[in-house]
Structure formats: structure tokens, C-alpha cells
């Protein structure tokens, strides 16, 4: 768990270029279909990038979820799958990896992150409870609401400002949390929902000082802390880079310390853990583990596979140890930064500081003439696809959904289009092509009009909503 003996090129040669700590062994062809075919595909998909066929996409930056390239070791692990219904040896490898790197006691595998969100929400939320968190995430908040809870945003104000240069925009504002405790009582707050990094804020990190202070606060009030660990490796990279006292610690050491201030975590292993499918819940309290184990058999599968094949658990156990290596995380974040810097150099508005997993275009500044209820970030995602076949994702008013009480749109301060970089998949040349396409769309911005929503599903509408051009 100490720092590895090898160094990156950057560490060895100072200002020289860095490069990925891997080479490519297998490739998958991609192609750009014609402009005419893209226009047809976009219209058929109702201008929703989730409804495109991936074969019609050239560079796919929809998500970094389940889209990573696995290593030769992970693929070798696939061949070691023990496909027993119960007690598969791969489960024990997975359990050991989570205990070693994250430090939690009880491990329950799930098919992916939202399976674990479902279990923790149902296990600890009572109807009428309040769940404070550092900005909402779509599936997380929905599971909290379905369990009878109300999510309350307690992130620092800077997180809602795409131009703020605060180094830890994922931090919890303890005054907001205190105000919630004063208003509803600590007994109605089962836990703080803490995410590192914060996806909807632009991949922004939480500092170690903040999680420590949060722990002290929660201990005083008898409130637990559950962590959304989905992109914690990237969060730890920012702590290593920006927080005093952590520059000489490895990502693995920082991770272990951070998790030690929390009571458990849920995980979409499809991100940091470098697998195409999988998730887990891990907690320190036996009573919570028992409730979750009782439920996992109803919704996921037996508690020693939770919806995953043995081979997938093996690849995941290997991915946990591989993904946490300093050079892996550094190369990943630096590739994101490379793309962001190209855009900043051209004056294109993005969320700053550049986050860990994606570049977020600021659609409010990109298209100031398109009102929020004409879906500027959905429009931008559609225009980018039309220009070059690059697929991005709306993270604005469509993702925010409707207020369950009033039925009105929620109008989030952040209206963003996310270009999410899969891990170990695309090269620097792909990033150049993406940046040039965004520049072309930016140059056309004044002629661009918004969209109208013509179909809206009840839950998580951004996945399946359909639009028409105005």
C-alpha cells in the first residue's frame, strides 16, 4: 500500500510529457457515419443521446460507466470464474480486495451501483426521514425518495457556480447541515449521503479536512455517513495534488484514511474499479449488513454473488487493486484535463476546476439565448452528435426531473453537457477531434435553437425522454 517503486515520466523528468501506463493489445474499429445518416439517427432517437444506437456513434463520451478497457490480467481473471451458485471463490477475492483497499467490514455484491443504493436506502431510511448530501445524483436521490426520504442539498455554494475555482467544490457545508438538524432533528436524519467526487457538480472532490470535520459533526449528533465511492480514486488524486500533508501519500493510503471516517459505502464498480458490470455495498455495522443481506437475496441474488457472475467478481477484485495505482489514476485525470485545456484555450465555457471523469460544457454560457425550459444542454449534446458523431450527455434540467411535491421542473443552477472519458479507451488524438468538433458547434452557437420535450417518462426521464427541434 506504500507508494510504488516506479515513477511516472512526469515525476522522473519534471516538465516533460506524461503518457499512459499501458500499451494497447487489442483494438475495436470505430467509424463516423455521414452527416445525413447522423441527422436521421438523431431524429429517430428524439434528440436524446441515450436513444442512439452505439454503432451510429463515432467517439462515445456518453459515460465512463462500464465503458473502461479491462487489462490482460482482468481478462485472465475472467477465465478463473468459479460459477458456483453459493460461496464462489471469486466472492472471497472480491471481499478481500474491498476490505484491503476500502477498509469496510461487511461486503455485499450487487449487479451495479443502483442495486447497492436500493439496499442501503431501504435498510436505513424510514418514511419521513431527511437525507442530506453533497449534491444529488439521479439514481441515488430516487432510491432515497422511493424509500420514503427527502434529499436535502448541503454542498457548499461554490459547487453550483461553474466558474468558482474552489479546489474542493464537493465539500459539505456544515452550517447547512446544522440548519437541517435544527429544523428536522438529528433523529430524522439516518445518514449523510457523501459522494466523492461529485458527479453532477463536474467531478469535484471532497477534501480530507471536510470529511474529518463531517465525522466529528456526525458523531456529536449520532448520524452515520455513507459514502458513494464510485469515483473515490479520482477524489483521492485531488487530495494528493491539492491538500497539505497528502502529497507524499499514495492514492491507496489516502483512500483508506478517507473511508475510515465513514460507516460504509456503495459502489458502482463500473467506474473506478474498471469493470464493465458490477457493484457493491460495504458497511461496518453488523445490523445494517444483516438487513442488506436479507434484501439482496430478494432483489439481486445470493449474498455471495449479488447479481454478478463469478468471473465478473474476479475481474472486479483485480480491477480494484489495479485502478487504485497512482499512475493509473493520474493518467486518467490528466487525459480529462488535456481535453479541458484545449477548450479553455479557445474560450469555450466549461466547469472549472476541471474534474476527474469528464469535461462539463456550461450550456448556460454556451447558449445564453436558449431558455432553460428549452433544454440548452440537451440541445448542445444533439448538436455535437450532428457535427461529428461524438456522443455526450445532458446534465441539466432534464436530468434534474420534476419536484415530486409540485410536479414542476426542477431548475438546477448547473445546466451542463457532459463529455465523459472512458478509462483506458481513447487516445490523445481522439481528444483533439472532440475538441475541434466542440469548437465548430461553438462557432455556430448563435444560429442554434432549443428543443421541446414531446415524451416524458415518469422516472429518471433523461434516459428515455424524446425531443423535437424548435
114 binds ligand PLI (CB under 6 A): yes
- Region from 68-76, 112-120, 254-262, 365-373 binding ligand PLI, contact rule CB under 6 A: 112-120
From 121, 173, 204, 230, residue interacting with ligand PLI (rule: CB under 6 A)? 230
262 binds ligand PLI (CB under 6 A): no
Coil vs helix vs strand at 194: strand
Decide whether 354 or 370 has the Cβ nearer to ligand PLI.
Answer: 354
Decide whether 181 or 419 has the Cβ nearer to ligand PLI.
Answer: 419
Q: Which residue is nearest to ligand PLI (CB)?
A: 113
Decide whether 140 or 417 has the Cβ nearer to ligand PLI.
Answer: 140
Site pattern 178..197 for ligand PLI (x: CB under 6 A): -----------------x--
Which cell numbers hold the place of 257?
484514511
Give the footprint of ligand PLI on residues 270-289 (CB under 6 A). 270, 279
From 58, 130, 137, 168, residue interacting with ligand PLI (rule: CB under 6 A)? 137
Query: Closest distance between ligand PLI and the C-beta of residue 339, in Å?
Result: 17
Query: Closest distance between ligand PLI and the C-beta of residue 63, in Å?
Result: 3
Looking at the chain, the number of H-run helices and the number of E-run strands are 17, 12
Site pattern 42..81 for ligand PLI (x: CB under 6 A): ---------------------x-x----------------
Q: Which residues contact 5 (CB under 8 A, 6 or more apart)?
A: none
Give the footprint of ligand PLI on residues 349-408 (CB under 6 A). none
401 Ramachandran zone, left/alpha/beta (phi>0; psi -120 to 50): left
Which cell numbers hold the place of 287?
445490523
- Residues carrying an active site annotation: 85, 137-138, 228, 271, 395, 462
Which cell numbers hold the place of 17?
510529457
Which cell numbers hold the place of 69?
478497457
Query: Closest distance between ligand PLI and the C-beta of residue 198, in Å?
Result: 8
Distances in Å between the Cα of 376 and the Cα atoms of 132, 355, 450 are 28, 21, 6
From 121, 144, 171, 199, residue interacting with ligand PLI (rule: CB under 6 A)? 199
> Among all chains, which residue has been given the C-alpha cell 439482496?
296
Residue 58's φ and ψ, nearest 5 degrees, are: -90, -70
Decide whether 46 or 196 has the Cβ nearer to ligand PLI.
Answer: 196
Is-contact 216 253, C-beta < 8 A?
no
Find, among 60, 459, 105, 81, the residue nearest to 278 by Cα: 81
What does the radius of gyration of the chain's CA atoms come to, in whole angstroms?
21
Is-contact 195 137, C-beta < 8 A?
yes
Coil vs helix vs strand at 26: coil
218 binds ligand PLI (CB under 6 A): no
249 binds ligand PLI (CB under 6 A): no
153 Ramachandran zone, left/alpha/beta (phi>0; psi -120 to 50): beta
Query: Closest distance between ligand PLI and the C-beta of residue 204, in Å?
Result: 12
Decide whether 313 or 370 has the Cβ nearer to ligand PLI.
Answer: 313
Number of neighbouring beta carbons within 10 Å of residue 225: 20
Q: Kindly list the residues in this chain that would bind ligand PLI in the complex (CB under 6 A).
A: 63, 65, 112-114, 137, 139-140, 195, 199, 228, 230, 268, 270, 279
Amino acid at each position: 500500500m506504500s507508494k510504488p517503486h516506479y515513477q511516472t515520466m512526469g515525476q522522473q523528468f519534471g516538465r516533460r510529457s506524461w503518457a499512459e501506463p499501458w500499451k494497447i493489445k487489442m483494438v475495436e474499429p470505430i467509424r463516423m457515419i455521414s452527416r445525413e445518416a447522423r441527422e436521421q439517427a438523431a431524429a429517430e432517437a428524439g434528440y436524446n443521446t441515450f436513444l442512439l444506437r452505439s454503432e451510429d456513434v463515432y467517439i462515445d463520451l456518453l459515460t465512463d460507466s462500464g465503458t473502461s478497457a479491462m487489462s490482460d490480467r482482468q481478462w485472465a481473471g475472467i477465465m478463473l470464474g468459479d460459477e458456483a451458485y453459493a460461496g464462489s471463490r471469486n466472492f472471497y477475492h472480491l471481499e478481500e480486495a474491498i476490505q484491503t483497499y476500502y477498509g469496510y467490514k461487511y461486503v455485499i455484491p450487487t449487479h451495479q451501483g443502483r442495486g447497492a443504493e436500493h439496499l442501503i436506502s431501504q435498510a436505513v431510511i424510514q418514511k419521513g426521514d431527511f437525507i442530506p448530501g453533497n449534491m444529488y445524483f439521479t439514481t441515488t436521490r430516487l432510491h432515497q425518495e422511493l424509500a420514503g426520504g427527502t434529499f436535502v442539498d448541503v454542498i457548499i455554494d461554490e459547487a453550483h457556480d461553474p466558474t468558482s475555482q474552489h479546489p474542493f467544490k464537493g465539500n459539505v457545508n456544515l452550517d447547512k447541515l446544522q440548519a437541517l438538524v435544527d429544523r428536522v432533528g438529528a433523529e430524522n436524519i439516518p445518514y449523510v449521503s457523501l459522494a466523492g467526487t461529485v458527479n453532477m457538480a463536474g467531478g469535484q472532490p471532497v477534501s480530507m479536512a471536510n470529511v474529518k470535520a463531517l465525522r466529528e459533526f456526525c458523531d456529536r449528533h449520532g448520524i452515520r455517513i455513507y459514502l458513494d465511492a464510485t469515483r473515490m480514486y479520482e477524489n483521492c488524486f485531488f487530495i494528493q495534488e491539492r491538500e497539505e500533508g497528502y502529497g507524499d501519500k499514495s492514492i491507496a493510503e489516502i483512500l483508506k484514511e478517507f473511508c475510515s471516517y465513514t460507516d460504509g459505502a456503495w459502489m458502482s464498480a463500473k467506474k473506478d474499479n474498471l469493470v464493465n458490470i458490477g457493484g457493491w455495498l460495504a458497511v461496518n455495522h453488523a445490523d445494517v449488513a444483516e438487513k442488506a443481506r436479507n434484501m439482496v437475496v430478494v432483489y439481486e441474488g445470493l449474498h455471495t454473488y449479488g447479481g454478478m457472475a463469478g468471473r465478473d467478481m474476479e475481474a472486479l477484485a483485480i480491477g480494484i487493486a489495479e485502478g487504485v495505482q497512482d499512475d493509473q489514476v493520474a493518467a486518467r485525470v490528466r487525459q480529462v484535463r488535456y481535453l479541458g485545456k484545449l477548450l479553455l484555450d479557445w474560450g469555450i465555457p466549461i466547469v472549472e476546476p476541471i474534474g476527474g471523469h469528464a469535461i462539463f460544457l456550461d450550456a448556460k454560457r454556451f447558449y445564453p439565448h436558449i431558455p432553460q425550459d428549452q433544454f440548452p444542454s440537451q440541445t448542445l449534446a444533439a448538436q455535437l452528435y450532428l457535427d461529428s458523431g461524438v456522443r455526450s450527455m445532458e446534465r441539466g434540467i432534464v436530468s434534474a426531473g420534476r419536484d415530486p411535491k409540485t410536479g414542476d421542473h426542477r431548475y438546477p443552477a448547473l445546466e451542463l453537457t457532459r463529455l465523459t472519458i472512458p478509462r483506458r479507451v481513447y487516445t490523445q488524438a481522439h481528444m483533439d477531434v472532440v475538441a475541434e468538433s466542440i469548437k465548430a458547434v461553438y462557432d455556430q452557437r448563435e444560429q442554434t435553437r432549443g428543443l421541446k420535450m414531446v415524451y416524458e417518462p415518469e422516472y429518471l426521464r433523461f434516459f428515455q425522454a424524446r425531443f423535437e427541434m424548435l
